[in-house]
A = this chain, B = another copy of it.
């Protein structure tokens, strides 16, 4: 049993040694049993000048599989070095959707070269798929699927699969279309195998079909596929004509990308689709500075609240010491609610119509949390701050101010935290943006206002 990560550095050592000693046959024999995705990872760690050598050592089919798995920088490097014949060979082996993925990442001159050397059918298909908007079902589909007619027998279907199968992305599900290419049914390879050869496809096909439209969002497409546990999902145009399919492996990649995007947005970062170590410092700076700036400016309002209550703070300086605790607890309580709701929305567990159920739940949770935190804090203030450290300014009244603020802050924060993502969803914004950082900034201000209200009411100190 081969566990790649455990053997990665050992493999790298061997590869470098074989390259150094020019032992190319041994190198080839070392690489062939390794999965394409892992060879691509190893190639990513090699010096750029060794890539073409390694690539040319591999058998043609494996070489193409590895090529698909490489990062776009490395793909570009290899293409730049390819002779026209080599390029054509690789292109002929590529599945259409992989070819489109590659073309999308290349600079214009490389795209032109790729299209010039693709065969006419593929060129036409690539151009068609490139027309669909980014992140649409059309942009991630492949047109290489098996189509059957309802009038064929199972035996005919097998003949067709045997003839056209080698070029198809999957043969596990075959789609049944009528003469106008309308999607009218589907049949799995399992059904075909378990059915008599003379049976007519129309009699065994499933006719209640879930499909997506070319312009549907790629995340919606991937989630549907996952929800129904399909291996592929048909993509149709506005007239229900079958134009392509999205396969489960591509759906998994889409879900992974979308989750990364959501997580980045929740951390106040503009999303990028590059792996961490491949992202340049400049790109990272550009992804991070906008929200940092915006949130910094918003936080200055919180500062103005403090300024307004400067006199109150001067009258009871002990209050200042509890500001960070109150702001942080509010922020944390709000983030918990926000992040749970955001995830619920993106998993389709929560809809806007559930708003009142969500609020009712969060209110009860917030009361419990607020009281628990206030109680713990009261004990801490009296036992530790007052009795242990003999801090005379921590009076029971001060403790009361802090604890009342805690209860109301947690309550407000959870309310803001659960409402903002739902409202964002309603007005068509991305709920993920309403996560911790934004909530924190809002909650900071509200918790201070609550604090000073209680201070003036209980301790009778004015602004």
Contacts A172-B172, A189-B171, A293-B376 known; A324 to B339 CB distance under 8 Å? no
A79 at the interface (CB under 8 A from B): no
A288–B323 CB distance below 8 A:
no
In A184-201, which residues have CB < 8 Å from any B CB? 189-190, 193-194
* Chain B: CB-nearest residue to A251: B252
Min CB distance A111 to B, Å, is 25
Complex Cα spacing A322 to B303, Å? 5
Residues of B within 8 A of A5 (CB): 348
A361 at the interface (CB under 8 A from B): yes
A218 at the interface (CB under 8 A from B): no
Residue among A325, A344, A357 with the most chain B CB within 10 A? Answer: A325
Select A325's contact among B296, B328, B437, beta carbons within 8 Å. Answer: B296
A276–B358 CB distance below 8 A:
yes
A354–B277 CB distance below 8 A:
yes
B347–A275 CB distance below 8 A:
yes
Complex Cα spacing A213 to B297, Å? 52
Contacts A228-B37, A296-B325, A306-B323 known; A1 to B268 CB distance under 8 Å? no
Contacts A320-B313, A344-B275, A377-B296 known; A369 to B288 CB distance under 8 Å? yes
Complex Cα spacing A158 to B333, Å? 59
A228–B35 CB distance below 8 A:
yes
Min CB distance A428 to B, Å, is 16
Residues of B within 8 A of A291 (CB): 332
What 1/0 mask marks residues of chain A from 283 to 301 whose CB sits below 8 Å from any chain B CB? 0110011011101110110
Residues of B within 8 A of A372 (CB): 285, 289, 293
B281–A365 CB distance below 8 A:
yes
Complex Cα spacing A260 to B342, Å? 11
Contacts A275-B349, A347-B260 known; A324 to B302 CB distance under 8 Å? yes
Residue among A229, A256, A323 with the most chain B CB within 10 A? Answer: A229
A437–B335 CB distance below 8 A:
yes
Residues of B within 8 A of A260 (CB): 343, 347
Residues of B within 8 A of A299 (CB): 324-325, 328-329
Contact-residue size bin, chain A (C-beta under 8 Å from the other chain): 35 or more
B161–A193 CB distance below 8 A:
yes
A304 at the interface (CB under 8 A from B): yes
Residues of B within 8 A of A215 (CB): none
Min CB distance A264 to B, Å, is 7
A368–B276 CB distance below 8 A:
no
Contacts A249-B229, A302-B325, A369-B288 known; A33 to B336 CB distance under 8 Å? no
Complex Cα spacing A5 to B248, Å? 21
B335–A292 CB distance below 8 A:
no
Min CB distance A98 to B, Å, is 11
A314 at the interface (CB under 8 A from B): yes
Select A339's contact among B207, B267, B295, B373, beta carbons within 8 Å. Answer: B267
Complex Cα spacing A166 to B188, Å? 12
Complex Cα spacing A292 to B349, Å? 25
Min CB distance A171 to B, Å, is 5
A369–B1 CB distance below 8 A:
no
A-B contact sample (12 more), CB < 8 A, given A276-B361, A277-B354, A297-B376: A1-B211, A2-B210, A165-B194, A171-B189, A229-B252, A251-B252, A268-B335, A275-B349, A292-B373, A299-B324, A304-B321, A314-B317
Which 6 pairs from chain A and chain B are nearest by CB?
A267-B339, A229-B249, A33-B208, A302-B324, A276-B344, A299-B325
